[in-house]
Amino acid sequence: MNPLLQVDDLQKNFGGLRAVGGLSFEVAAGEVLGLLGPNGSGKTTALNLISGALARTGGSIHLDGQRIDGLAPHRIARAGVARTFQLVRVLGGMTCIENVQVGLAFRDAPSFGEASVAEAIELLRRVGLDTRAHVLAGDLTYIDQKRLELARALALEPRLLLLDEWLSGLNPSELQDGIGLIKSLRAGGLTVVLVEHVMDAVRALCDRCVVMCAGAKLAEGATATVLADPAVVDAYLGRAHA
């Protein structure tokens, strides 16, 4: 069986800077994969390449056996890849329910207008925003905007969900809620790639991890093993702490 996501020798240069160089990994259906690494190691660039926000310099990306690199972002979204952004991007001038309805309206099997209201409310309920359905998204707190962004991503009915530091900036109780929510998504069969710095969340959620450093893969494997790898600790904390 094909892996759901297959990344082969992915490369991205910005002028003379090599942001991602020869990155390869696979994600099986139903798996939660952590993409780790120090700041500037190319994690977000990798996510941007998968979602089509950036064009690759080299390599290939396959979703369920189908090549998706080189496609426009909207085609990748319709193929089943949804994402959130490191800096939230809600549609501030639209209400929460409208934000989610946008996700419903342009997915592969769209539902629009009246027909999408019930489904949108259900998605908002799932992230705990149903009581704020008619509040402008721009008026929400930062945390609520993150939750709204997740609901909107789920509205696309994705096969693969890309989360870019979705759990960062949460307080401890919010973090537990957030972890619970992602666990519930995994229980529902969703495949997730998450870029994350919050190690508690990584341990609680990720089946496997890929650690990046300077644009390349430093380590890959089961979460506990990878996090105990001296090379990984080294990359994160610097040689003096290793």
Partner 1 sequence: MKNRVDKPALAVAAALLVMAILPLAWRNDYALSFGINLLQFSVLATAWALFSGPTRYISLATTAFYGIGAYAVAVLGEQLPWPLVLLAALALGSLVALGVGLATLRLSGVYFVIFTFGLAELVKQLVNWYEVNITKTSGRYVFLEISQQAIYWQLLVLLALALLAGWWLRRSRLGLALRVIGEDETAASHLGIDITRTKVLLFVVSAGFMTLVGAVIAPRWTYIDPAIVFNPNVSFQVLIMALLGGPGHWLGPLAGVLPLTALFEFLSVNFPNYFSVLLGATFLAIVYLVPGGVVALLERWDRRRAAALVKEVPNVSPARPPEGARTPPCSVEVSQ
Binding site for partner 1 (CB under 8 A): 51-53, 72-74, 77-78, 82-83, 85, 89-95, 97, 101-103, 105-108, 110, 112-114, 117-118, 121-122, 125-128, 130-131, 133-136, 141, 143, 147, 152, 156, 170, 173-174, 177-178, 180-181, 183-185, 187-188
CA 242 to chain centre: 29
Smallest gap from residue 102 Cβ to partner 1 (A): 5
Give the nearer residue to partner 1 in terms of CB position, either 63 or 97.
Answer: 97
Smallest gap from residue 79 Cβ to partner 1 (A): 9
Give the nearer residue to partner 1 in terms of CB position, either 54 or 213.
Answer: 54
Smallest gap from residue 234 Cβ to partner 1 (A): 34
Smallest gap from residue 10 Cβ to partner 1 (A): 19
Cβ-based neighbour number of residue 3 at 10 Å: 17
Smallest gap from residue 185 Cβ to partner 1 (A): 8
Q: Is 7 exposed, middle or buried (0-12, 13-18, 19+ CB in 10 A)?
A: buried
Give the nearer residue to partner 1 in terms of CB position, either 15 or 113.
Answer: 113
Place of tokens 């962004």: 149
Tell me the C-alpha distance between 110 and 161, whole Å: 18
Smallest gap from residue 100 Cβ to partner 1 (A): 10
Q: Where are the beta strands (DSSP E) in the chain?
A: 5-14, 17-27, 32-36, 58-63, 66-67, 81-83, 160-164, 191-195, 208-213, 216-222
Give the nearer residue to partner 1 in terms of CB position, either 9 or 108.
Answer: 108
Give the nearer residue to partner 1 in terms of CB position, either 102 or 192.
Answer: 102
Give the nearer residue to partner 1 in terms of CB position, either 24 or 176.
Answer: 176
**Which amino acid type is present at position 32?**
V
DSSP line for 57-119? SEEEEEETTEE-TTS-HHHHHHHTEEE--SS----TTSBHHHHHHHHHHSSSS---GGGGHHH
> What is the number of residues in the chain?
242
